């Protein structure tokens, strides 16, 4: 149950079996930092190449293929006051005819936002638009994180799959516990791409991109095997499917939630009947090569039927 203060010196833009930056034990806590999507740190200095550079990988002792790694986000806080967003909705989320004729002029410039962790707000500063000094409440979340994938792969932080990756789901915020399948010894946990605020889908290709102070705690569930990232917060258990089209992400997430209910002891027919009237879906990233859909059910319902 040690606590590690870790200062990253190297960043990766693919999630894979890189040399671990730190070895930790199940139960340990890590305090570290992440740079933003473009490699800028807490001083807003670019210290590594752009593309969701990741802090890590962290090697978790005892994690072996077939286990599950639980990662609890204890604390996620922006560590600088400037954040940036794209100003253009991605053509792939617009009607093709509309995208071919109605895109805003002026290219893909960036807007700058003032992030105030005291007031817990982000305020649009430049450029000048009809939005004025639009101010939004902070909702910090980690856009891209996960474990080394199977089969010797290293997967770009531009996308996502069974190992996690660039899911950009607003629910991956402080207080959530995320579960990953372990594919390699040590699991090799990576994280980065912090957003101070983000709309559903990350449809402009960015949240309010910012560097973070992060604290997380890991735990290895030995011999517990899952197929897709799972998570829970105080109200829900949830599963994330990553694929294109979104229909397939729905298939992965729904199937994984049925598997979870099965593990909780719920017979299939009951599980299907239950999900039919109580399931909820949230949409994660629809900008990247793989899209993300989250399937979830309220814990209170699972308690009502006595399986949680």
| Footprint of its own copies on 58-97 (CB under 8 A) | 85-97
Q: Are 10 and 21 in contact (CB under 8 A)?
A: yes
Tell me the C-alpha distance between 115 and 58, whole Å. 29
14 sits near its own copies (criterion: CB under 8 A): yes
Q: Is 226 in the site for its own copies (CB under 8 A)?
A: no
Instruction: Tell me the two tokens of residue 123.
Output: 């305020």
Backbone angles phi, psi at 54, to 5 degrees: -105, 140
Q: Does 277 bind its own copies (CB under 8 A)?
A: yes
| Rounded Cα gap, residues 221 and 118, in angstroms | 37
In whole angstroms, how close is the CB of 140 to its own copies at the nearest point? Answer: 13
| Shortest distance in whole angstroms from residue 142 CB to its own copies | 17
> What mask, x for binding its own copies by CB under 8 A, covers residues 278 to 297?
xxxx-x--x--x-x-x----
Closest CA to 172 of 150, 193, 157, 158: 193
Contact 109, 87 (CB under 8 A): yes
Among 42, 141, 203, 240, binds its own copies (CB under 8 A): 203
Contact by Cβ (8 Å): 219, 245: no
Which of 29, 173, 177, 251 binds its own copies (CB under 8 A)? It is: 251
10 touching its own copies, by CB under 8 A: no
Candidate list 10, 225, 273, 303; residue touching its own copies; CB under 8 A: 273
Distance (Å, rounded) from C-alpha 271 to C-alpha 278?
A: 10
Which of 45, 46, 222, 305 is in the footprint of its own copies by CB under 8 A? 305
* Contacting its own copies within 125-144 (CB under 8 A): 129-132, 134-136
Rounded Cα distance, 281 and 287, in Å: 18
Question: Binding residue for its own copies (CB under 8 A) from 79, 248, 299, 308?
Answer: 248
């Amino acid at each position: 149950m040690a606590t590690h203060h870790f200062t990253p010196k190297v960043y990766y833009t693919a999630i894979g079996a890189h040399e671990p930056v730190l070895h930790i034990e199940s139960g340990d806590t890590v305090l570290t930092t992440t740079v933003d999507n473009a490699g800028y740190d807490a001083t807003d200095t670019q210290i590594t190449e752009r593309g969701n550079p990741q802090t890590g990988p962290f090697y978790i002792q005892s994690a072996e293929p077939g286990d599950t790694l639980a990662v609890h986000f204890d604390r996620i806080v922006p560590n600088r006051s400037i954040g940036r967003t794209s100003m253009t909705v991605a053509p792939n989320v617009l009607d093709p005819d509309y995208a071919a004729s109605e895109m805003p002029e002026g290219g893909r410039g960036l807007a700058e936002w003032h992030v105030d962790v005291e007031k817990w707000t982000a305020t649009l500063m430049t450029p000048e638009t009809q939005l004025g000094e639009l101010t939004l409440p902070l909702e910090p979340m980690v856009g891209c994180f996960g474990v080394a994938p199977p089969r010797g792969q290293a997967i770009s932080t531009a996308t996502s799959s069974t190992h996690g990756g660039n899911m950009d789901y607003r629910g991956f915020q402080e207080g959530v516990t995320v579960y990953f399948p372990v594919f390699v010894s040590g699991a090799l946990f990576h994280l980065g791409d912090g957003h101070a605020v983000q709309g559903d889908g990350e449809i402009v290709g960015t949240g309010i991109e910012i560097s973070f102070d992060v604290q997380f705690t890991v735990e290895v569930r030995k011999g517990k095997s899952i197929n897709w990232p799972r998570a829970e917060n105080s109200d829900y258990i949830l599963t994330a499917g990553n694929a294109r089209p979104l229909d397939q992400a729905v298939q992965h997430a729904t199937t994984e939630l049925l598997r979870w209910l099965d593990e909780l002891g719920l017979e299939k027919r009951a599980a299907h009947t239950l999900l039919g009237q109580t399931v909820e879906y949230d949409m994660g990233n629809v900008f990247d090569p793989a899209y993300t859909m989250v399937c979830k059910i309220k814990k209170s319902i699972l308690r009502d039927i006595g399986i949680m």
